[in-house]
């Protein structure tokens, strides 16, 4: 792998399904000649959901704009005062031509398409399966946000993302993020816990030198030698609803969204064009391309540039457990119960009781490697649920019932890098800065979706991310080049791991 990367870098130029929800909140327009931009200036027809056909319909904004209108919008945009060099570029409104083509419509691709189209780019978002499917990493009921990270490079990104979540919700007119406090707990000497507390500005409320009263002391039986720290920047995002929101916002900004479109090739065509080809034989041209294909990243990148990017798909399980009778309302978001993370082995994370009344999500981080194209949906049940039951029995015995095992289990995939740091970089090689990859979000990317989407879009459109610089987000640790000399990337010791 290192050899392949080294070779590659020698040519491096500096380098539930809730579909109904989605289609209720956007208005789709008929476009029998799918993605024909000339149709954009024609009056659009509202479609009822009953007649929606994903193969024949391109979803785009009601009242979509001409290139001139889009350029004008960029000039007048209050989100980004900077004129986009791409707004009216790329052959104008030629059919099948776009400023930015985003491949993969999970949270990252959907946010990137929104960010690019908000800047006035003519954006296309291509998704292999049905929109909001359950076969990747971004589906389901909930994800957590927290600023307590062992790695110092993430809290600035969390803060940027938190602001962008608010802006997107304001644009959409509804909420997907419910703020909560956040708790971190674990063995007092655990270096990752200590670093997370320091980096996230958390306050130690138990097990430290100066313990203070904390509201949930009666819920947790904190083991001897453990510490508990509380921080304010926590919260729960409704996952599928959030992805749908960003897709709807992208469409509102003029993006075209196509599902059931598997991208099989990305190739350079001349100086200023990237050709994106799908399994069904359709071809799209983009000035730039953003690849956000989650657990399929290694496969697609290998087939496009022959590079082995170390992004390992992992099967994991979300478990919901029954709250013991009498405590149901105590562990809810309404009661102010926190999200939490428990350090050590196993690493446990939780969201308050919210989506299924009377149940609380408590799950183990990680799981066995898997092939995203041939998954054994039943694997890991024992390995992933039993350690959680043991943890609950030790730390929350009075409040959560483990006797019957988890009441609900949902499969999901992580895309793990060896150091659990993201990959955000230009693909390089013959693509130079024309193709940007966002991948390897290692089970902790959802909260960053709006920030990552903005950064990827700016990298594609401007060759750099001004938002990252302004927010103090360091992208250097997320570069592909970190694997060239060290297959473990940012890990200096074999025992290290990020979270």
Where do contacts with ligand FAD occur on this chain (CB under 6 A)? 103-109, 126-129, 136-138, 143-144, 262-263, 292-296, 300, 316, 318, 349, 412-414, 441, 443-447
Residue 215 Cβ vs ligand FAD, minimum distance, rounded to whole Å: 22
- Beta strands of 39-106 (E only): which ranges? 97-103
Name which of 295 and 323 has its Cβ closer to ligand FAD: 295
Residues with Cβ < 8 Å from 292, sequence gap 6 or more? Answer: 102, 103, 104, 106, 108, 109, 112, 437, 438, 439, 456
- Tell me how far, at minimum, the Cβ of 75 lies from ligand FAD, in Å: 31
Q: Which residues contact 170 (CB under 8 A, 6 or more apart)?
A: none
d(CA 457, CA 108): 10
When the beta carbons of 207 and 352 are compared against ligand FAD, the nearer one is 352
Determine phi and psi for 192, rounding to 5 degrees.
-70, -40
Per the CB < 8 A criterion, the answer to whether 454 and 466 are in contact is no
Compute CA 316 distance to the chain's CA centroid, rounded to the nearest angstrom.
Answer: 16
Nearest to 388 by CA among 347, 426, 418: 347
Closest CB 236 distance from ligand FAD, rounded Å: 8
| Closer to ligand FAD by Cβ: residue 104 or 428 | 104
Could you tell me the smallest distance in angstroms from the CB atom of residue 199 to ligand FAD?
16
Instruction: Give whichever of 88 and 249 is closer to ligand FAD, judged by the CB atom.
Output: 249
Other Cβ atoms less than 10 A from the Cβ of 350: the count is: 26
Considering the complex, state which of residue 88 and residue 176 has its C-beta at the smaller distance from ligand FAD.
176
Distance CA 219, CA 203 (A): 18
Q: How far is the CB of 138 from ligand FAD (least distance, A)?
A: 3
Q: Which is nearer to ligand FAD, 120 or 443 (CB)?
A: 443
Q: How far apart are CA 499 and CA 497, in angstroms?
A: 7
State in angstroms the smallest separation of the CB of 10 from ligand FAD. Answer: 27
Q: What element of type H or E holds 294?
A: none
Closer by beta carbon to ligand FAD, 104 or else 156: 104
d(CA 385, CA 280): 40
Contacts of residue 230, Cβ cutoff 8 Å, sequence gap at least 6: 181, 182, 183, 202, 203, 205, 214, 338
Residue 238 or 433 with smaller CB distance to ligand FAD: 238
For the chain, the distance separating the N- and C-terminal CA atoms, rounded to the nearest angstrom, is 24
d(CA 36, CA 489): 43
Distance of CA 307 to the CA centre of its chain: 23
Nearest to 179 by CA among 318, 336, 332, 356: 336
Output the residue with the shortest Cβ distance to ligand FAD.
Answer: 106
DSSP designation for 403? T
Q: How far is the CB of 161 from ligand FAD (least distance, A)?
A: 9
Nearer to ligand FAD, 120 or 450 (CB): 450
Least CB distance from residue 112 to ligand FAD, whole Å? Answer: 9
Contact 435, 274 (CB under 8 A): yes
What six digits make up the tokens of 123? 């954006």
- Cβ closest to ligand FAD, residue 93 vs residue 141: 141
Are 99 and 287 spatial neighbours (Cβ–Cβ below 8 Å)?
A: yes
CB-based contact 264:171 (threshold 8 Å): no
Least distance to ligand FAD, CB of residue 278, Å = 7
In order of 118, 146, 213, the CA distances from 251 in angstroms are 10, 29, 48
Closest to ligand FAD by CB, 105 vs 360, is 105
Q: What share of the chain is helix, strand, coil (3-state, %, to 5)?
A: 30, 25, 45
Q: Which is nearer to ligand FAD, 140 or 207 (CB)?
A: 140
Pairing mode of beta strands 226-237, 177-187:
antiparallel
Q: How far is the CB of 240 from ligand FAD (least distance, A)?
A: 10
Residues in the chain: 499
CB of residue 316 to ligand FAD, shortest distance in Å: 5
Structure tokens at 374: 């041939």
In terms of CB distance, is 64 or 292 closer to ligand FAD? 292
The least CB distance from residue 476 to ligand FAD, in Å, is 20
Summary count for the chain: helices (H), strands (E): 12, 18
Least distance between ligand FAD and beta carbon 160 (Å): 14
């Amino acid at each position: 792998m290192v050899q392949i990367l080294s070779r590659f870098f020698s040519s491096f130029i500096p380098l539930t399904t809730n579909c109904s929800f989605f289609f209720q909140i956007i208005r789709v327009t008929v476009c029998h000649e799918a993605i024909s931009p000339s149709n954009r200036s024609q009056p659009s027809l509202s479609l009822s959901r009953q007649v929606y056909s994903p193969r024949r319909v391109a979803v785009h904004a009601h009242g979509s704009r001409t290139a001139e209108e889009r350029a004008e919008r960029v000039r007048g945009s209050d989100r980004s005062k900077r004129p986009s060099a791409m707004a009216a570029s790329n052959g104008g409104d030629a059919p099948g031509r776009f400023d930015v083509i985003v491949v993969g419509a999970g949270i990252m691709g959907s946010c990137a398409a929104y960010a690019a189209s908000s800047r006035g780019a003519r954006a296309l978002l291509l998704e292999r399966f049905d929109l909001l499917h359950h076969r990747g990493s971004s589906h389901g009921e909930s994800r957590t946000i927290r600023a307590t990270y062992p790695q110092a490079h993430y809290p600035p990104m969390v803060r940027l993302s938190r602001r962008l979540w608010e802006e997107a919700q304001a644009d959409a007119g509804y909420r997907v993020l419910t703020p909560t406090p956040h708790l971190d707990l674990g063995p007092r000497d655990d270096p990752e816990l200590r670093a997370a507390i320091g980096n996230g500005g958390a306050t130690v409320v138990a097990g430290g030198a100066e313990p203070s009263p904390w509201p949930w002391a009666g819920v947790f039986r904190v083991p001897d030698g453990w510490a508990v720290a509380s921080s304010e920047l926590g919260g729960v995002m409704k996952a599928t609803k959030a992805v749908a929101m960003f897709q709807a916002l992208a469409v509102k900004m003029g993006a075209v969204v196509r599902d059931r479109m598997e991208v099989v090739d990305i190739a350079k065509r001349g100086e200023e064009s990237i050709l994106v080809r799908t399994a069904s034989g359709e071809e799209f041209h983009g000035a730039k391309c953003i690849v956000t294909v989650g657990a399929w990243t290694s496969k697609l990148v290998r087939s496009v540039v022959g590079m082995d990017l170390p992004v390992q798909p992992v099967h994991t399980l979300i478990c919901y457990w029954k709250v013991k009778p009498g405590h149901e309302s105590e562990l809810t978001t309404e009661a102010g119960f926190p999200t939490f993370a428990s350090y050590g082995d196993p690493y446990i994370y939780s969201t308050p009781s919210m989506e299924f009344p009377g149940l609380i999500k408590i799950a183990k981080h990680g799981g066995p490697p898997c092939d995203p194209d041939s998954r054994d949906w039943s694997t890991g049940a024992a390995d992933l649920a039993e350690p959680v039951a043991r943890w609950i029995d030790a730390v929350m015995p009075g409040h959560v019932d483990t006797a019957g095992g988890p009441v609900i289990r949902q499969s999901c995939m992580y895309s793990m890098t060896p150091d659990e740091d993201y990959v955000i970089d230009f693909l390089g090689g013959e693509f130079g800065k024309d193709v940007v990859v966002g991948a390897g979000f290692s089970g902790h990317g959802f909260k960053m979706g709006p920030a990552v989407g903005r950064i990827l879009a700016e990298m594609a459109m401007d060759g750099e991310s001004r938002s990252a610089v302004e927010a103090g987000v360091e992208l250097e640790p997320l570069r592909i080049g970190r694997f060239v000399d060290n297959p473990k990337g940012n890990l200096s010791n074999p025992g290290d791991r990020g979270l």
